[in-house]
C-alpha cells in the first residue's frame, strides 16, 4: 500500500539536500544562487551566453512542449541560436533525449522511470499544479465509477498513468485504456465517439467536448490533491545521465525566475495563438500552475511513482537522481 501525505519527507538520493531551503520566485535570490542551493554537491555552473554561437562553441539543444503552460519556462529562449529550442509533444521528448536529438528536455515525470537509458532530473523548473490543473481532464458519458474503457490522448504519458492511479484508488477501476489522436476524434453524438476520454493541454480549453454530451468530468490535478494532499508534477527538466550541460541549467533557472515577474505579459502574447481567453490565460499561468522544483514537488513525484509501481505501470520507483556538473 502506498501512503502519501503532505508532511511525509522522502529521503531522495542527493536531491533532498538543499531542496528544503530552495527559494521562491520572489525571495530575491538570483538564478545561479537558486541553482546552487538545490544541492550543495553541485557546483554553480558558469552562465551560458544567449548570443549566437561562435565557431567551435557547443550549441545546446532544449526539448520542450509547445503548450501555453510551458511558456513561463522557455519565454526569451525561443529564437536564439544558442541554446536552440525544439518543440514536440510531451510523449516524444524522452525519445528525443535518448536519440541525442536534444541535450535536455521537459519530460513527463513517468518517463524518468520508463526511459531506456538512465535519466537524471535537472531541478531548475517543472510544470505542476497544487489542485485543479484545468488542462488534464477526463470526460465521460457515464458516471465515473461505471467507466469500462477510456480513450486516452496520445500526447501524454504521465497523465495516462495518473488517470490509472486515480481510477484505481478512488473508484476501484482498471478500465481498458485505448490510445487515440484527440485531434481527429469522432464527432459528438456519433456511434464512434468514445464513452470516456482523457484530454490534455490546450485542447481541453479550446477543443473540449460539451458538458451536455459528456456530463461526468474529472480534473486529474484536483483528484490527486484530494487523494494525497500533494501537488502534482506533470513534467520536469531531464537529461541523460553523464551529459555535460555546461551553464545551461543556470540559464534555464534564471529565465524561469525572470519570466515569473512577467507572467501577465507572457499570457498576453500567447493566449490568442493557443486558443485561450487572455483573462483565463493570466489565471492559469499565474495561479493554477507552479514551476519551481522544491521539497514538496519531490515528495509528490516519489508518491506518484509509488502508486505507479504498485499498479505495474513502472518496474520500480527508483530514487530521483539529480544532475551534477561534470556528469
pLDDT in tens, 234-278: 999 999 999 999 999 999 999 999 999 999 999 999 999 999 999
DSSP H helical ranges for 39-89: 71-74
Query: In this predicted model, which residue has the larger pLDDT, 32 or 284?
Result: 284
From start to end of 80-130, where are the E strands?
84-87, 104-108, 119-129
- Dihedral (C-alpha) 251, 62, 230, 312: value to the nearest 10 degrees? -150
pLDDT in tens, 177-196: 998 877 665 566 656 789 99
Q: Which residue has the cell 513527463?
A: 108
pLDDT tens digits, residue range 50-96?
334 445 689 999 999 999 999 999 999 988 889 999 999 888 999 99
In terms of pTM, does the model score above 0.85?
no
b or e along 164-184 (b: 16 or more beta carbons within 10 Å of the residue's beta carbon)? bbbbbbeeebebebeebebee
Query: What does the pLDDT read at residue 5?
Result: 55
Mean pLDDT confidence for 114-140: 95
Q: Name the pLDDT band for 233 (thresholds 50, 70, 90).
A: very high
Sheet with strand 289-290: strands edge to edge:
84-87, 61-64, 104-108, 232-240, 119-129, 289-290
Mean pLDDT of the chain: 83
Per the CB < 8 A criterion, the answer to whether 238 and 245 are in contact is no
124, pLDDT greater than 60 = yes
Q: Which residues pair with 149 in a beta bridge?
A: 176
Domains of the chain: 19-127+232-310 (3.40.190.10), 136-228 (3.40.190.10)
Amino acid at each position: 500500500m502506498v501512503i502519501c501525505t503532505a508532511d511525509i519527507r522522502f529521503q531522495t538520493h542527493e536531491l533532498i539536500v538543499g531542496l528544503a531551503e530552495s527559494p521562491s520566485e520572489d525571495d530575491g535570490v538570483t538564478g545561479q544562487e537558486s541553482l546552487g542551493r538545490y544541492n550543495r554537491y553541485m557546483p554553480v555552473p558558469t552562465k551560458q551566453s544567449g548570443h549566437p554561437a561562435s565557431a567551435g562553441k557547443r550549441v545546446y539543444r532544449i526539448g520542450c512542449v509547445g503548450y501555453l503552460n510551458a511558456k513561463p519556462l522557455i519565454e526569451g529562449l525561443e529564437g536564439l541560436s544558442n541554446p536552440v529550442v525544439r518543440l514536440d509533444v510531451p510523449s516524444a521528448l524522452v525519445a528525443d533525449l535518448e536519440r541525442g536529438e536534444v541535450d535536455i528536455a521537459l519530460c513527463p515525470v513517468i518517463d524518468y522511470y520508463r526511459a531506456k537509458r538512465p535519466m537524471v532530473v535537472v531541478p531548475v523548473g517543472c510544470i505542476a499544479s497544487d489542485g485543479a490543473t484545468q488542462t488534464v481532464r477526463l470526460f465521460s458519458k457515464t458516471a465515473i465509477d461505471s467507466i469500462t474503457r477510456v480513450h486516452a490522448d496520445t500526447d501524454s504519458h504521465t497523465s495516462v498513468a495518473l488517470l490509472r492511479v486515480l481510477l484505481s484508488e478512488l473508484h476501484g477501476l482498471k478500465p481498458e485504456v485505448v490510445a487515440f489522436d484527440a485531434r481527429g476524434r469522432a464527432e459528438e453524438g456519433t456511434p464512434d465517439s468514445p464513452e470516456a476520454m482523457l484530454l490534455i493541454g490546450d485542447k481541453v480549453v479550446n477543443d473540449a467536448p460539451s458538458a451536455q454530451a459528456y456530463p461526468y468530468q474529472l480534473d486529474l490535478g484536483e483528484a490527486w490533491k484530494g487523494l494525497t494532499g500533494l501537488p502534482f508534477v506533470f513534467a520536469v527538466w531531464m537529461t541523460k545521465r553523464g551529459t555535460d550541460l555546461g551553464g545551461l541549467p543556470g540559464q534555464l533557472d534564471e529565465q524561469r525566475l525572470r519570466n515569473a515577474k512577467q507572467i501577465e505579459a507572457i499570457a498576453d502574447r500567447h493566449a490568442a495563438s493557443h486558443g485561450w481567453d487572455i483573462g483565463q490565460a493570466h489565471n492559469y499561468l499565474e495561479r493554477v500552475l507552479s514551476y519551481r522544483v522544491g521539497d514538496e514537488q519531490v515528495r509528490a513525484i516519489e508518491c506518484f511513482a509509488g502508486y505507479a509501481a504498485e499498479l505495474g505501470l513502472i518496474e520500480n520507483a527508483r530514487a530521483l537522481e539529480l544532475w551534477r556538473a561534470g556528469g
